[in-house]
Amino acid sequence: MAEAVAASAAEDNLIEIRDLVFRRGERLIFDGLSMTVPRGQITALMGPSGCGKTTLLRIIGGQLKPEAGQVLLRGEDVTRASRGELLELRKDIGMLFQSSALFTDMSVYENVAFPLREHTDLPEEAIRDLVLMKLNAVGLRGARDLMPSQLSGGMARRVALARAIALDPCLLMYDEPFTGQDPISMGVVVSLIRRLNAALGATSLLVSHDIHETAGISDKIYILDGGKVVAGGQPAELPEHPSSRVRQFVTGTPDGPVPFHYPADQLAYDLLGDAPR
């Protein structure tokens, strides 16, 4: 009975992370982090800068190896996969990078066609149709002949999104998709993430600092701090969280458990020049 419940839970979750430990040099980034990403939903990872959100995406994608722990993607442990197995596994993952990471020597069309050319034997006509459909989904069918240097930041993000969904992946990972976007571009990206997740029947994992946009589209939010998950739940639950640190993060209060001032002597000491050393 217990095994059946565990199996059913595993089927409900696309990703399960168990007791993850990761160190960068001497610095401990994750200290026994555990979390799950439910299938078919949009899950957001939030937390202060440097808490390891992007690092976690890279560990899930197998680009970084943790010191200990398991990262199960569809039941397969990513941390134990060989280089060849990882390359195979990643065909089912679409990732949107913070910098968009478009190939600068290829046009918009060629960028979106790239994963299709690399991983399928489709004839050129089929590739063309697919590329145009993906570009149409992000509203940039008319920009197919432009080079990345001719795109605005928002357009580049949308092209990168079209490329990320080219192979209809089961997992979409977004690294700070709203950063540096004007309000219109941000609105477009927010609505695209929601629409594409539903249209593809995919699971989305979103890293962001923008609490309002993230709360508006996420089914579940995890807040990371100190190498662990300090809070997790539906967006509406977080402002009522018992931890004052979590509440400060969610409401964006400048001073609180996370102080506004970097630790220093009293201002008067510094101004009068007789600060105790």
- Pairing outcome for strands 171-175 and 42-46: unpaired
Site for another protein in 124-183 (CB under 8 A): 160, 163
- What is the smallest separation between the CB atom of 89 and another protein, expressed in angstroms? 8
How many residues touch another protein under the rule CB under 8 A: the total is 24
Under 8 Å between Cβ of 225 and 245: yes
Q: CB-wise, 161 or 229, nearer to another protein?
A: 161
What element of type H or E holds 175?
Answer: strand 171-175
- What is the smallest separation between the CB atom of 9 and another protein, expressed in angstroms? 27
- What is the smallest separation between the CB atom of 166 and another protein, expressed in angstroms? 8
Tell me the per-residue interface mask from 81 to 120 with another protein, x by CB under 8 A, - otherwise. Answer: --x---xxxxx-x-x-xxx-xxxx---------xx--xx-
74 forms part of the interface with another protein (CB under 8 A): no
How is the beta sheet containing 42-46 ordered, strand by strand?
93-96, 171-175, 203-207, 42-46, 220-225, 228-233
Under 8 Å between Cβ of 42 and 197: yes
Q: CB-wise, 54 or 70, nearer to another protein?
A: 54
Where on the chain is the footprint of another protein (CB under 8 A)? Answer: 58, 61, 63, 83, 87-91, 93, 95, 97-99, 101-104, 114-115, 118-119, 160, 163
